[in-house]
Amino acid sequence: MELNDAVAVITGGSRGIGRAMAEAFLAQGARAVVLADLDPDAVAASAAELGCEGRACDVTDESQVVDLVESTLTAHGPIDLFCSNAGAGAEGVLTDAPNEVWQRQWELHVMAHLYAARAVVPSMIANGGGYLLNTASAAGLLAAIGSGPYTVTKAAAVKLAEFLAITHGDEGIRVSVLCPQGVNTAMAPRSLGDGQTDGIIEPDALADVVVEAIREERFHILPHPEVAEYLQRKADDPDRWLRGMRRLRARSLVD
């Protein structure tokens, strides 16, 4: 998919990855970019700076996601690309992560993607096709030790993206899932399982990878290419991978 003359919606769009993608899409000639964010002041400021549209939206409220899609269709016509990007971190595993944290992570990292797909896919199919880009995390493919709600819900986000690609691929709906490690944003993780990442990258570098992946219509978008190797090792020998992750967890507890 080429972004020239495209209409794109980006949730979690006022800062970090979302804003960087908006800048990249506009640089590629997107006709309209609509930023959506929970913080109305932040999204209004970012939209004004970029010269695009900004809307307040709580992506965990399905009615607000529907309103976002419908208002974009009215103002700009068919949506070519919907980036379901909003997310947040959460620490804890079992007793130290209360139900409210698990539920909030589920609503933000899984149901929000589902609400977006429900709202936008019918109009995309009617228009002959469209593109969904769901932001997950390398933690959803691997694991982030010490962050159970985040890891589990990001894994569910990957599975939902797979399901959407299987279910609607033959109807012209292309799907990508973005799975970075550390990115220099407000929630930048300085650790991923073993206390290290493969480098903290800048949001604009990530956005360049996203543009290339959308052009090539790749399902996995891996700004840290090492993740593909780790995923292959996990697939080749899951038991060995689990033993290795337990060793990493033990080291992190000592550190």
Task: List C-alpha distances in Å: 116 to 64, 70, 216.
Answer: 10, 11, 23
Residue 243 counted as domain residue = no
Per residue in 70-86, pLDDT tens?
999 999 999 999 999 99
Residue 151 counted as domain residue = yes
Residues of the chain with confidence (pLDDT) below 70: 185-198, 255
At 13, which CATH number? 3.40.50.720
In this prediction, residue 195 carries a pLDDT of 40
In this prediction, residue 197 carries a pLDDT of 61
How far apart CA 27 and CA 25 sit, in angstroms, is 5
In this prediction, residue 145 carries a pLDDT of 85
In this prediction, residue 228 carries a pLDDT of 95
Residue 113 counted as domain residue = yes
Per residue in 36-49, pLDDT tens?
999 999 999 999 99
- Which is the catalytic residue, given 115, 131, 150, 230? 150
Residue 1 counted as domain residue = no
Residue 167 counted as domain residue = yes
Residue 160 counted as domain residue = yes
Residue 141 counted as domain residue = yes
For the chain, the domain total comes to: 1
In this prediction, residue 193 carries a pLDDT of 41
131 catalytic per annotation? no
pTM, two decimals, is 0.91
Residue 180 counted as domain residue = yes
Give me the domain span that covers residue 223: 7-227
- The dihedral over CA atoms of 156, 161, 164, 168, expressed in degrees to the nearest 10, equals -170
